[in-house]
Amino acid sequence: MKKYKHEIEDDRCKGCGLCMTVCPKNVLEISEKVNSKGYFPVCQARPEDCIKCSLCCIMCPDVAISICEIEEKEETVA
Ligand code: SF4
Ligand code: SF4
């Protein structure tokens, strides 16, 4: 089964909150840490609820969020 990783590039985010309005799972919140541009970026406050639907990526005007596939390594049982 394929696995996906949700990533927010803090320094691209201007904290506009548009992504938060489209998330069906209420995963995103504005963080309390300021980024290099002086904005408060969004963060995944509830990552376990993320269904990787990519609506937030599509909505972001600054392309600050991405979802990428991660390679799953074969687990070896010792
Ligand atoms: S991928 Fe979907 S569920 Fe996950 S944070 Fe973005 S909008 Fe919310
Ligand atoms: S839509 Fe993009 S720029 Fe706006 S808060 Fe979300 S990640 Fe940041």
β-bridge mates for residue 30, sequence order: 42
Instruction: List, for residues 45-72, the tens digit of each pLDDT value.
Output: 999 999 999 999 999 999 999 999 998 7
Q: Which residues contact 61 (CB under 8 A, 6 or more apart)?
A: 16, 18
Q: Which residues contact 60 (CB under 8 A, 6 or more apart)?
A: 13, 18, 19
pLDDT score of 2? 85
Q: Name the strand (E) or helix (H) holding 70.
A: strand 65-70
* Residue 32 Cα to ligand 2 middle (Å): 15
pLDDT score of 33? 95
Q: Where are the alpha helices (DSSP H) in the chain?
A: 18-22, 55-59
Q: What is the mean pLDDT of the chain?
A: 94
pTM: 0.89
* Residue 67 Cα to ligand 1 middle (Å): 9
The answer to whether residue 78 scores a pLDDT higher than 60 is no
Give mean pLDDT, residues 9-19: 98
Write down all domains in the chain, each with its CATH number in brackets: 3-70 (3.30.70.20)
Instruction: Decide: 47 and 72 in contact? Cβ < 8 Å.
Output: no
User: Which is the closest atom of ligand 1 to the Cα of 22?
Assistant: 7
* Residue 68 Cα to ligand 1 middle (Å): 13
